[in-house]
Amino acid sequence: MTKIPDTHLKMCQINLGDEIGVKQSVYGAPNIKKNLKIIVTLPGAKIIGKTIQSSVILGVESYGMYCALPEICCCDKSFDDDKIYELSGHNLHFSNFSFRIFNGINVQKSQDELKKYLIVIGIKPINNIVDIGNYVMLLTGQSVNIYDSNKLPKQELIAIEGYGKFLELNQKEYELSQIDIVITSNEKIVCLAGIISKEISKYGQNTKNVMTEIAIFDRFSIHHSSVALNLNTESSINFVHGVNNQSKE
């Protein structure tokens, strides 16, 4: 196992048997260790109606996707090793969701040290709000979504599944399925969870008050939404490859 520099992600070699051999995979969960037997969904496997594909994460090739037992069959029983099990269905869930308001914010350029750090990682510095959010994501593996709280219809955020149509930033309309998760404020969609926010809720240069969203979403749902809607962002990649359940704190 090898740590990817300046991120919470690691690269490991997974032995998938004689037929497939040893493959490389990128993961974010802290409980993976040497010689551990894990569940791996291979490229071509279908989860919640979508096909798992290999990908490149921060320049590192990642084969398939590993997952926890509750994520694919929603049960807590133990399975015997070296057996094949046929599983069906997938229960969508998001386990943690919270938000916090910060008032009296000044949107400005980040300090040179932070900008240089992000550039080395391959992330373009934007301003102190965006850059701090990206810095937190790199250190903890936890994505931070930020809204202008004065633009929100109500000082609340609620996560809901299958809520209708979502108007993305480029004015293109996307039809959502029943397993897509959206973030709403006063019953108005402000974000496609784990992927991208709507323009109406985004902060700008004149923003003074922000609301930060910290969440741990079901990664198979985020993967499904990202692939089905062809919306691939740094946030969606982070959720798909595993978030530390303790990092929200």
List per-residue pLDDT tens for the chain, 249 residues long.
787 877 777 888 888 888 888 988 887 766 777 887 777 878 877 665 556 777 777 778 888 777 665 555 544 445 555 555 555 444 434 657 788 889 999 999 999 999 999 999 888 999 999 899 888 878 877 778 889 999 999 988 888 876 666 666 567 777 777 678 888 898 888 888 888 888 778 888 889 999 988 888 877 778 778 877 778 777 777 776 656 555 445
Fold entry, domain 2-73: OB fold (Dihydrolipoamide Acetyltransferase, E2P) (2.40.50)
Instruction: Provide CATH 2.40.50.140 ranges for the chain.
Output: 2-73
Q: According to the model, what pLDDT value does residue 90 have? A: 40
Place of tokens 């250190």: 139
Res 169: pLDDT: 59
What pLDDT does residue 92 have? 39
DSSP line for 72-116: HH-------TT-------------EEEEEEE-S----PPPHHHHH
- For 179-182, the CB contacts below 8 A with 24+ separation are 179/48, 179/92, 179/221, 179/224, 179/225, 180/221, 180/224, 180/225, 180/228, 180/229, 181/92, 181/94, 181/217, 181/218, 181/221, 181/222, 181/225
Distance CA 146, CA 82 (A): 45
Tokens of residue 196, six digits? 């991208």
Domain 96-240, classified CATH 3.50.40.10, yes or no:
yes
- CA 129 from chain centre, in angstroms, equals 19
* Domain ranges in the chain with CATH number 3.50.40.10: 96-240
pLDDT confidence of residue 56 = 78
Query: What is the structure's pLDDT at 248?
Result: 47
